Each structure stands twice: as C-alpha cells, then as structure tokens.
C-alpha cells in the first residue's frame, strides 16, 4: 500500500516542477547551464512518468538524437546549478530506490508464482493421493462391510443351527456337553459383538474421510478464487505469504490426517488377520456340530434301546402271568367246552330249520306279488292293445291320404319344374333385351326409350303374376311337406310303442314256448337269427343319392325364386343399377328357408331326446317302485292331487280293504287321514 501511494504522489510533484521550469525558462533563455540543468531534470521526469514510452521508442535512436528538448537535464543544470541540485539528486536516489523496489517486487512476484505453481502441483498431487486413499478406503470399507455382513449371516445361520440343535436335543443330554456348547455360543456372540464394534468404527472412519473430502473440495474452490484474484489484481506478497503459511498449516494438518488414516489402515489390517483367524475357527465349527449330532444320535439310540429292553421285559413277565392264568382256566373249563360243542350242534340244526321256513315264506310272498302284478299287467296290456289297434286303423287311413298327397305333390313338382324352366328362359330373354336396350340407348333418343319401357313394364307385370302363382303353390307344398313329416314321425312313434307292448305281452305270457316256436319256424324258413346277425346297408345307396339330388334341386330352385322376387321388388322401388349386389345383400339379410328347416330339424331332434328321456325316466321309476314294493311289501300311489298318498299292502288277502291314506303339509310333514 505504501508503494502505491508514493507512486501516486510522484506525478503531482513533477508537474509542479514542470510549471516552475517553464516560468524560469521564459525569463532566462541565454544561460546554457540553466538549460542543461532543465534538460537533465526533464529527462528525469520523463524516466519516472513515461517509462513505457521510453521502452516503446528505444527502437528509434536517430529521431531522439535530432530532437533538442528545451527542458533537458543538461540545460537545467546549467541554469540552476545551486538551488535544485539537491532536489534532483534526492529525486534520482528515490527513483533508483523505487526501481530497485520494483525489481525486488518483480523477483518476489516471480518467486511467488513459482511457489504457487509448486504449491498447486503439490496440492494436486495431494488431492490425487487423497482421492486414491479415499477410493482405497471406500473399497476396503465396502469389503469390510461385505465381509461383516457375510459373517453376520454366517453367525445368524450358526445361531439358527444351534437353535435347531437345541430344540432337537432331548432332555436326557449330559449337562457337561450342554455347558460346553453354551460357552462356544457365548464366545461366538462376543466375537460378533466385537465385529459389530469394528464395523461401527469403520463407519466413523468413512464419515471422517467424507468430511475431509468435503474440506478438500472447499479448499479447491478457495484455490480457484485465489487464482482468479491473482490474474485480475496481481495479489501482493504479504497476502501470498499469509495464505502460503495457511496452506502450509493445512498441508501439515492433512499430513497428520493421512498419518492417522494410515494408522487406521494398519489397525484394519490387524483386524483382518483376527477375522481370518476367527473364520478358521468358524470353519471348524460345523465339524464340532456334526460330532455333537453324532453323539446325540448315539445317546438317543442308547436311551431307546434301554426303554425297549425294559418294555420287552415287562411284556415277557405279563405274558408269562397270562399263560399261567389261561392254563388254569383251560384245566377248569374242559367239561364246559364239551357241553358248548353239543349245544352248538343243536343250535345249528334249529337255525337251518328256521332258515328253510323263512325261505318258504318268502317264496310264497313273491309268488303272491307276482300273481298280483301279472293280473295288473294283463289288464293294462289289454287296454293298451285296444288303444293301439285304434291308432293303427287311424294311421292306416292317414297313410293312404299321405300316399295320395305325395302323388299329387310329385305332379305339382313336375309342373313347377316346367314353369321354372320357362322362367329361366324368360330371364335370359330379359337379359338379352336389357343388353340390346343399353346398346340402342347410346344411338337412339327418347322415343325408343318410351317404347322399350312400355314393353318391359308389360313383361314385368306378367312376371309378377307368374311369381304370385308360384308362391301360392310353394306355400301349399311346404304345408303338405310339414304335415307329411309330422305324420311320419307319429307313425314311427306308434309303431315303436306297438312293438314294445307286444314284447311285454310275449314276456308276460309263455315267453319260452313262443320263442321256441319262432325259432323252429325260422329254422324251417331259413331265416337268420336277429340276436347273432347284423343288417348291412350300402354306403352309396342309389335311393338315398336320388333323394338327395331331388332335395338339392328343390333348394336351388327355391333360392332362384327368392332372388327373382328380390329383383322384382328392387325394380318396383326404382333401382336400376347394381341389381345383383342389392339382391345379394337383401338375401343375406333375410333368413333363408334352409336355415328355417335346419332349426325345425333341431327342434324335432330335441323333442325326440326329451321323449326318450321321459321314457327312460318312466322305466327307472317303475323299476324303483317295484324294488320298494319287494323290499317294504307296500305300494304307494298318489290320488286326487300331489299332496295325497295311498299305501296298500301287497301280501294282504283283500288289499282294497287294508289301505292307509296320508296327506302332506306345507311344512313337509305326513298326516294319517284314514284306515281301512
């Protein structure tokens, strides 16, 4: 700060001196001594004030030699030899001192810069070393953590194994072995606690290292700020020295910390050696556990063998006592055993007699029940035969009507086929007319269009009449076909019922004689036995193929009929373009007769399935009722509603008189109403 203030004061003094010199030069211009002194003085001022200009004009010596400054030092000395000589000498001395100070400052600045560069390089090296040390410390800490976690897991596993072994150990283990195991467990627990303390210390050391890293980062920032301030302002040597001392102190602190960290690393290495020793001991632990398990197993086997020996001894003693007791009883009970054998023989004879009586009674009851059932079945069969004969007569008459109707239908189908051929021909003619009409429209005008439209309208009206007639005929044929199918189904059902009733009658009345008679007749005629033979049919039956072809033709004709109807409707509505597309769309939207027929067939098949299920249910219900009658000896019937039931005994002489009537409540309870 002092050097800067002196440098600011020097130009003001020199300016005053310049004013004095100029005033004196105007008064006294003749004296050469004064002029020389002035020149010498002015050169001194120029060296002080304009040092940079002297450096810049050092390359031009010729101009400076030619230029004669009136205020040069030589002129000033000649003019003012006595008064200003001291001041000039003092100023020159001050100037020389200032130059020396500047040179010393420059040298100090250069030395400071070199020291700064050395310190920065040393700081960088220290930072790199610190980073390396931190990385190494972190890696070692991670390794310690991993090892500590593994040891903790291993210790936990050991504790689990010890718990399991302690649970498995019986109460009869020796106290000495248990105490040894407990001591081993306590040792391991102490070691685990020591390892935890070591891990806690390692964590603290890691935290201190992190704090040091933060401090190092903070010092980095300070160094950057210092460098910026040096570049901008040219920091003075005093500040640099103080900061260098502070940095030296920080470096010493860091060296101390590094020494501490190295000591900690050495301690950690010692801990590692201790841990390795502990690991070796822990590796020996499973062998000890195995030995303990083997000893416990041997001990348990010995205990079990002792218990088994004691049990066997007790059993032997008990068996010997029982043998003695039973031998005594046998000796005392020999006459009683002879009597028991005799009585058993007599009892067996009486039991056989009772069994025979029970068998006779059962046969009598079964015969009576069979007689009653045969009578009832006979009456039911006779009534069914009468009803079936009536149904047969009706079916025969219906069959005749159906045959007549089928012949009429065949004739109508032939007529319809002929008409359909005519319609197809007319369709082709319409197509040709339309094509010719399209060609002529391009050449002719409106009169030809009117004539052709009138012709086409007349043709369409005729075609409508034909279509209406065909629709009426088709409706009639569909109704008759449905009647035929229903009648055929009823006929097949009636025939099946008749055959079933005939079989039941044959089984009820002399099945053996009838079967023998039929077998004899078939043997005489040379017929086959239906139980041992099968009926073979052709795969490609010509009759079936012909019927399928006729059905396919009829379906095709129906499809063409419907498509023509749709086209006529479109023409009536005024559509002329894209008739085929529109007709196909309408046909797809509408339900086709094939789908209707398929649905009807599905409905019929489901009805047949339901009927078959009902028949099977009736058969099973009859069998169940027969079983209940045979087991209980009573028949149960429902009369005048679902809630009234009649119970009659099968084995009674007059079953109509011996009856029970019951009624079912809303709660589901049965109440007795009457007794006969």
Question: What does the pLDDT read at residue 183?
Answer: 73
Q: How far does CA 398 lie from the centroid of its chain? A: 67
| Contact residues for 487 (Cβ-Cβ < 8 A; gap 6+) | 398, 399, 402
Over the stretch 539-578, which tens digit does the pLDDT of each residue have? 777 778 888 888 888 888 888 887 788 777 777 777 767 7
The neighbour count for residue 205, using CB atoms within 10 Å, is: 20
**DSSP structure class, residue 574:** T
Lowest mean pLDDT among 150-154, 375-379, 478-482, 565-569: 478-482
| DSSP-based helix, strand, coil % in the chain, nearest 5 | 85, 5, 10
Yes or no: say if 670 and 664 are a contact pair by the CB < 8 Å rule. Answer: yes
Q: Are strands 644-649 and 659-664 parallel, antiparallel or unpaired?
A: antiparallel
> What is the arithmetic mean of pLDDT over 347-362?
75
Question: What does the pLDDT read at residue 643?
Answer: 75
pLDDT at 211 over 80: no
3-state secondary structure of 602: helix
pLDDT at 61 over 50: no
Over the stretch 581-615, which tens digit does the pLDDT of each residue have? 777 776 666 556 667 777 788 888 888 888 888 88
Question: What does the pLDDT read at residue 614?
Answer: 87
pLDDT bin (cut points 50, 70, 90) of residue 291 is: confident
pLDDT at 172 over 60: no
> What is the arithmetic mean of pLDDT over 474-501?
61
Q: How far does CA 338 lie from the centroid of its chain? A: 82
Burial label for 71, CB within 10 Å (0-12, 13-18, 19+), is buried
> What is the arithmetic mean of pLDDT over 450-459?
60
| Contact residues for 639 (Cβ-Cβ < 8 A; gap 6+) | 645, 646
> What is the arithmetic mean of pLDDT over 252-259?
73
Torsion, Cα of 594, 596, 602, 603 (10° steps): -160
CA angle 549, 552, 554 (to 5 degrees): 110
Both tokens assigned to 276: 């390795």
Question: What does the pLDDT read at residue 454?
Answer: 61
Question: What does the pLDDT read at residue 561?
Answer: 81
At residue 530, φ and ψ (nearest 5 deg) are -65, -20
Q: Are strands 644-649 and 670-675 parallel, antiparallel or unpaired?
A: unpaired
Question: What does the pLDDT read at residue 442?
Answer: 46
Yes or no: say if 199 and 144 are a contact pair by the CB < 8 Å rule. Answer: yes
Over the stretch 392-438, which tens digit does the pLDDT of each residue have? 777 778 777 877 877 777 777 777 767 676 766 666 666 666 666 55
Question: What does the pLDDT read at residue 516?
Answer: 64
pLDDT bin (cut points 50, 70, 90) of residue 262 is: confident
Please report where in the chains the tokens 């502990």 appear, as a residue.
278
Both tokens assigned to 455: 């012709």
**Radius of gyration in angstroms for the set of CA atoms belonging to the chain, rounded to a whole number:** 68
pLDDT bin (cut points 50, 70, 90) of residue 463 is: low
CA proximity to 40, closest of 14, 74, 15, 68: 74
Question: What does the pLDDT read at residue 40?
Answer: 43
pLDDT bin (cut points 50, 70, 90) of residue 125 is: confident
Residues 578 and 596: their CA atoms lie apart, in Å, by: 28
Which residues are 660's β-sheet partners? 647, 675
Please report where in the chains the tokens 């050495």 appear, as a residue.
266
- Render the burial of 447-486: b for 16+ CB within 10 Å, e for the rest: eeeeebeeeeeeeeeebeeeeeebeeebeebeebeeeeee
| Contact residues for 392 (Cβ-Cβ < 8 A; gap 6+) | 494, 498
Question: What does the pLDDT read at residue 9?
Answer: 42
> What is the arithmetic mean of pLDDT over 442-459?
55
Question: What does the pLDDT read at residue 235?
Answer: 56
Residues 46 and 646: their CA atoms lie apart, in Å, by: 155
Question: What does the pLDDT read at residue 26?
Answer: 63
Average pLDDT, the chain: 69
Question: What does the pLDDT read at residue 78?
Answer: 43
Over the stretch 309-348, which tens digit does the pLDDT of each residue have? 778 888 888 888 888 887 777 777 777 777 777 777 777 7
Both tokens assigned to 41: 């003085």
Question: What does the pLDDT read at residue 175?
Answer: 60
At residue 81, φ and ψ (nearest 5 deg) are -80, -30
pLDDT at 495 over 80: no
Question: What does the pLDDT read at residue 80?
Answer: 42
**DSSP structure class, residue 530:** T
pLDDT at 522 over 70: no
pLDDT at 141 over 70: no
Query: Which one is predicted more confidently, 634 or 236?
Result: 634
């Amino acid at each position: 700060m002092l050097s800067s203030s002196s440098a600011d004061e020097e130009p003001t003094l020199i300016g005053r001196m310049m004013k004095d010199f100029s005033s004196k030069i105007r008064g006294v211009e003749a004296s050469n001594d004064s002029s020389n002194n002035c020149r010498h003085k002015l050169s001194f001022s120029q060296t002080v004030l304009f040092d940079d200009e002297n450096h810049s004009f050092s390359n031009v010596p010729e101009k400076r030699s030619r230029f004669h400054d009136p205020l040069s030092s030589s002129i000033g000395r000649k003019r003012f030899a006595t008064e200003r000589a001291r001041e000039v000498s003092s100023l020159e001395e001050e100037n020389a001192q200032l130059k020396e100070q500047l040179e010393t400052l420059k040298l100090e600045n250069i030395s400071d810069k070199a020291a700064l560069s050395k310190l920065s390089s040393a700081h960088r090296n220290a930072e790199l070393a610190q980073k390396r040390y931190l990385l190494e410390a972190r890696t070692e800490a991670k390794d310690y953590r991993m090892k500590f976690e593994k040891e903790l897991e291993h210790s936990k596993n050991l504790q689990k194994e010890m718990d399991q072994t302690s649970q498995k150990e019986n109460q009869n283990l020796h106290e000495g072995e248990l105490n040894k195991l407990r001591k081993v467990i306590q040792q391991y627990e102490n070691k685990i606690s020591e390892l935890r303390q070591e891990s806690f210390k390692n964590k603290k050391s890691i935290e201190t290292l992190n704090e040091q890293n933060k401090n190092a980062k903070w010092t980095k920032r300070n160094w950057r700020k210092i460098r910026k301030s040096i570049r901008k302002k040219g920091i003075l040597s005093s500040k640099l020295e103080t900061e260098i001392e502070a940095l030296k102190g920080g470096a010493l602190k860091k060296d101390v910390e590094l020494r501490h960290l190295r000591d900690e690393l050495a301690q950690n290495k010692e801990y590692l050696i201790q841990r390795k020793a502990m690991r070796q001991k822990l590796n020996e632990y499973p062998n000890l556990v195995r030995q303990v398990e083997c000893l416990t197993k041997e001990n348990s086997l010995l205990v079990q063998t002792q218990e088994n020996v004691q049990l066997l001894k007790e059993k032997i003693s008990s068996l010997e006592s029982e043998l003695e007791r039973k031998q005594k009883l046998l000796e005392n009970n020999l006459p009683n055993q002879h009597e028991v054998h005799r009585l058993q023989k007599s009892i067996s004879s009486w039991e056989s007699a009772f069994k025979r009586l029970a068998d006779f009674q059962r046969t009598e009851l079964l015969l009576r029940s069979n007689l009653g059932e045969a009578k009832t079945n006979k009456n039911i069969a006779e009534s069914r035969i009468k009803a079936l004969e009536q149904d047969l007569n009706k079916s025969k008459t219906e069959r005749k009507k159906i045959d007549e109707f089928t012949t009429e239908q065949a004739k109508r189908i032939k007529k319809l086929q002929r008409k359909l051929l005519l319609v197809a021909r007319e369709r082709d003619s319409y197509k040709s007319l339309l094509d010719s009409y399209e060609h002529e429209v391009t050449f002719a005008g409106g009169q030809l269009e009117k004539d052709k439209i009138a012709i086409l309208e007349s043709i369409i009206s005729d075609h409508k009449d034909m279509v209406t007639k065909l629709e009426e005929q088709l409706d009639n044929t569909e109704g008759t076909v449905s009647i035929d199918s229903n009648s055929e189904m009823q006929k097949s059902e009636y025939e099946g019922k008749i055959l079933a009733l005939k079989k039941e009658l044959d089984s009820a009345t002399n099945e053996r004689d009838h079967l023998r008679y039929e077998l004899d007749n078939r043997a005489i005629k040379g017929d086959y036995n239906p139980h041992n033979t099968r009926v073979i049919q052709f795969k490609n039956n010509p009759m079936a193929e012909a019927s399928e072809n006729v059905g396919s033709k009829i379906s095709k004709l129906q499809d063409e009929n419907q498509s023509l109807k749709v086209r006529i409707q479109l023409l009536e509505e005024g559509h002329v373009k894209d008739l085929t597309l529109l007709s196909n769309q309408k046909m797809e939207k509408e339900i086709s007769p094939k789908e209707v027929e398929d649905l009807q067939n599905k409905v019929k098949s489901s009805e047949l399935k339901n009927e078959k299920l009902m028949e099977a249910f009736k058969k099973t219900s009859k069998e169940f009722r027969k079983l209940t009658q045979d087991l209980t000896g009573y028949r149960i019937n429902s009369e005048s509603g679902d809630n009234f039931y009649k119970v009659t005994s099968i084995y009674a002489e007059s079953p109509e008189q011996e009856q029970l009537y019951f009624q079912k409540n809303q709660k589901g309870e049965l109440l007795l109403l009457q007794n006969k």
